[in-house]
Structure 1
Amino acid sequence: MKQGLQLKFSQNLTMTPQLQQAIRLLQLSSLELQQEIQEALENNPLLELPEEEITPTWEQNISATVSSSAGVAAEDDYIYQGETNESLQDYLIWQMRLSHFSATDEHIALIIIDAIDDSGYLTQSLEEVLEAAQQHDEEINAEEVAVVLKRIQHFDPIGVASRSVRECLLLQLNQLPNDTPSLAATKNVVDNYLELLGKRDYRTLARKSRLKENVIRNVLALLQQLNPRPGDSFSAGSSDYVIPDVQVRKNNGRWVAELHPAAMPKLRVNETYAAIHTNKHNNGCSSGDADYIKQHLQEARWFIKSIESRNETLLKVAHCIVQRQQAFFEYGPESMKPMILSDVADSIDMHESTISRVTTQKFMHSPQGVFELKYFFSSHVSTDEGGEYSSTAIRALIRKLVAAENPGKPLSDNKLATLLADQGIQVARRTIAKYRESLNIPSSSQRKSLL
């Protein structure tokens, strides 16, 4: 075999550490970025915040409950609401401690409380509770377990530790005064016809229960005062709190985007250490110290530049979104324009994957509410006039039509499709059903009400 030299050219894309850092920071939410900055400040002495800059605490963060649906934001949506660390179990145990339980009953109660889910329902049968209790004391019997369960079910919130919706509602009804209007009829309906009630089959309900329409109306009104999920008010993580990355305001008649101050940490290089590096030959700095300062100085500059790049990209994307969705900020979700990732990517000359990273877990505060940037992207539906309509706008129209419907004669999916067609928007019935379900709107038969 003859040996020789051969020259071959090839192209390879190598990501530098700086580029990798910039991409990683781009994907972080504001809260995650704050944590990253705090860690960098602790690990790099050449990074610092300006003296007037104070790292926000949870109480100082401007926060809002995130909503994926439209609606005018209340003024206090933009203020940190605070959180309670007390769970439903903590609250029930606190009541148990005040209820003079015996040691045995307290042991049973703790087993029951531990088996209650976030909605307030008991997830184990009495037999399972008894079996667990007997591992501690073999003399415990089923009657003792039932008595303890009954006591817990009368803790606040009433109906907690129920084993079914029927039991939960009946427990709450039993706490009402005997002279409550239609109380007996309501108990009868819950006890015997709850399935018909859930189906909103009022005609069959009236026939089987032999109740008149006005009595059924009173029954429904009373049931609306009850809570079929007594533990929901204690559910951990039921609300998400975020720091908006971008805020939208009106300037000279147009809506404009700007970075939110709380999402724009101002970092700088420590001038004292930087001066030591600059004058390392004149200040007796050892070579080891000089290398340490040089390395961390470079890392500090990279980090600051990566954050600046992140903010520039975020603002560029947000600005493009706001310019394309002027009607949304002026009139609400019914005026949302169809927009996909490539629309923004082409407009600002970036890759779609970059737009996807920027819009994930990044939030915008506006007079319409707080929205994840991804909310503004939606597919389109053609209109009779040859235009396009956003699927988000169609969902908003469906919600508006359902909100205004006659509860006694709710709009079917076919009727909703017809009403949209009257506005020039051609949407198939199955598409209406899909949009309606995504909005958690029940079917017309389930929405029917006598009230």
Structure 2
Amino acid sequence: MAISLNTRVQQQFTLTPQLQQAIGLLQLSNIELEQELAKAAEENPFLEFEPNPQIESNLSESSERLEQMQNSWTSSNKISQDDEDDWTERYERIAHKQTLLEYLEEQIHLLNVSAKEQSIIIYLAGCLDNRGYLIDDIESIYLEIKNELNGDELNSLGLIEAALEKLQSLDPPGIGGRNLAECLSLQIDRILNKSNINESEWRLAKYIVKNHLNKVGSKDWLKLKQASGKSEAEVLKAVELIRTLQHNPGAIFDRENDQWILPDIVVKMVDSLWVVESNPNAKPRISLNSEYAKILKESGQERGDGVLKQKILEANWLIKNIAQREETILKVANEIVRHQQQFFSVGAIAMKPLVLREIAETIGMHESTISRVTTQKYLSCPLGIFEFKYFFSSQLNSGNGAPISATAIQELIKRIIQEESATKPISDSKIAQILSDQGYEIARRTVAKYRDLMRIPAVHLRKK
């Protein structure tokens, strides 16, 4: 075998620390950026940081609000004084960062189960939708993970069922339900384990939930009386208890509901045109500490290779990257508003189809950069506050060939439902037919999907 040495020229792209920092800053929300800058200022004497008073006060309010919700789950378990500081820190983290999955994983790691069962429970938790429901059936989940189980089908299905029971025992109550009836039943089971409750009323509530929930939606009290053998007063009391339960146990982890938002951009009308400008209240308050820099320059140490020189370089990098972050956000917002002018005048019905690639090509940036910019960045306009991502939606074709966005279709569905009769609500099939008559060929299952996304109940639950 002949051995030889060859010289080869090869291009290799390496992320510099400065570029890594720029990418990291770009994907942070205003609140996360505030926390990152505070940390940087603690570690670098050349940075002068002034906390944003609006963010600080609202972080505190958000934390207290979520703490009250969390306490309602654990009212039967008194928190010791020794643990109070840990819980306060945990609530603060939940209020601004923690997701439903992260909260469940914390509890799963404390369960006394085998490593295999723990991994299955975590997998099931990852299958939950944003309401906290397990929408996939057990058989489908088994097919997805059967290679990891290394057992026969019967035992494997049993493992998944057992893991689901463990998941359903976690907080918030009702988590892991496969439908509304199971979700409510799980919550009632928790209540039945408590003392000082009217057990007969709650057992009737559970019977109705498991067997006749559709009659609650239609307010068919007569059939509920006949089915349960109870008086109308008893039935109405049970229904009242059912209505106190949480239909969507995962909803409190929805960022839009629980996280206070400071918009990055303000949209205004100028000369009949919607334009953008940076929100001055959201600008990061960080600068170079001129006194430290002056002392360093006068001592001549800035020409050295020591720690101080590195610190001042890092401070300059950060300030430059913050400015670049603001500029990029402004560019993306400007293109979004330019593309969606009609939305700001008319509303969601006028939303145009838009994908990340279009913005990326227009401003000459990579699609992944646009994705980072549009996540957890918000604009304020007369219609409200919206995340940048809201303005991106897929294209559907109407009967006349004109494109329409999925967001506009959702708005049409919402308007149809808003105008329906309270006693005769419109089914998903009928909504699909109405849209078809208007020139939009939308399948019934698509209508159902969009209705669920807007959290509008099914037809039998809307009937009054």
Same fold? TM cut 0.5: yes
Q: Taking every aligned residue pair, what percent have the same amino acid on both sides?
A: 37
Answering whether residue 210 of structure 2 is matched by residue 228 of structure 1, we say no
2:67 to 85, 94, 111: 85
Answering whether residue 267 of structure 2 is matched by residue 248 of structure 1, we say yes
Structure-2 residue corresponding to 1:405: 420
Answering whether residue 74 of structure 2 is matched by residue 55 of structure 1, we say no
TM-score, normalised on structure 2? Answer: 0.64
2:223 to 205, 219, 223: 205
**Counterparts of residues 66-81 of structure 1 (less than 5 Å):** none
Letter in 2 for 1:88: S
| CA distance in 2: counterparts of 1:353 and 1:165, whole angstroms | 53
Assess, with a 3 A threshold, how the Cα gap between structure 1 residues 436 and 56 changes in structure 2: closer, same or farther: same
**Counterparts of residues 25-424 of structure 1 (less than 5 Å):** 25-49=25-49, 54-56=51-53, 58=55, 60-61=57-58, 83=65, 85-86=67-68, 87-88=71-72, 121=187, 123-124=189-190, 149=194, 151=196, 153=197, 166=205, 194-198=212-216, 200=218, 202=220, 205=223, 208=226, 227-229=243-245, 239-281=258-300, 291-424=306-439
Assess, with a 3 A threshold, how the Cα gap between structure 1 residues 422 and 433 changes in structure 2: closer, same or farther: same
3-state secondary structure, aligned to 1:395: helix
Letter in 1 for 2:385: V
| CA distance in 2: counterparts of 1:91 and 1:298, whole angstroms | 51
Contact 1:193 1:205 in 2 (8 A): no
Measured after TM superposition, the shift of residue 319 of structure 1 is 0.9
| CA distance in 2: counterparts of 1:415 and 1:2, whole angstroms | 77
Contact 2:212 2:224 in 1 (8 A): no
Structure-1 residue corresponding to 2:24: 24
Letter in 1 for 2:243: N
| CA distance in 1: counterparts of 2:411 and 2:278, whole angstroms | 28
Assess, with a 3 A threshold, how the Cα gap between structure 1 residues 293 and 203 changes in structure 2: closer, same or farther: closer
Assess, with a 3 A threshold, how the Cα gap between structure 1 residues 349 and 206 changes in structure 2: closer, same or farther: same
Measured after TM superposition, the shift of residue 198 of structure 1 is 3.6
TM-score, normalised on structure 1? Answer: 0.66
Structure 1: stretches of 5+ with no match in the other structure: 64-78, 95-113, 130-148, 169-189, 210-215
| CA distance in 2: counterparts of 1:391 and 1:259, whole angstroms | 28
CA deviations over 1:108-142 (Å, ceiling 9, x no partner) = xxxxxx9985579454587xx6xxxxxxxxxxxxx
**How many residues in Structure 1 have an aligned counterpart in Structure 2?**
355
Measured after TM superposition, the shift of residue 208 of structure 1 is 4.9
Assess, with a 3 A threshold, how the Cα gap between structure 1 residues 203 and 31 changes in structure 2: closer, same or farther: closer
CA deviations over 1:343-386 (Å, ceiling 9, x no partner) = 11111111111111111121222222222211111001112332
Structure 2: stretches of 5+ with no match in the other structure: 79-168, 175-183
Measured after TM superposition, the shift of residue 227 of structure 1 is 3.4
RMSD after superposition: 4.3
Measured after TM superposition, the shift of residue 430 of structure 1 is 2.6
Tell me which protein shows more helix as a share of its residues: 2
- Structure 1 range deviating more: 320-329 or 116-125: 116-125
| CA distance in 1: counterparts of 2:262 and 2:438, whole angstroms | 38
Assess, with a 3 A threshold, how the Cα gap between structure 1 residues 162 and 224 changes in structure 2: closer, same or farther: closer
Letter in 2 for 1:38: A
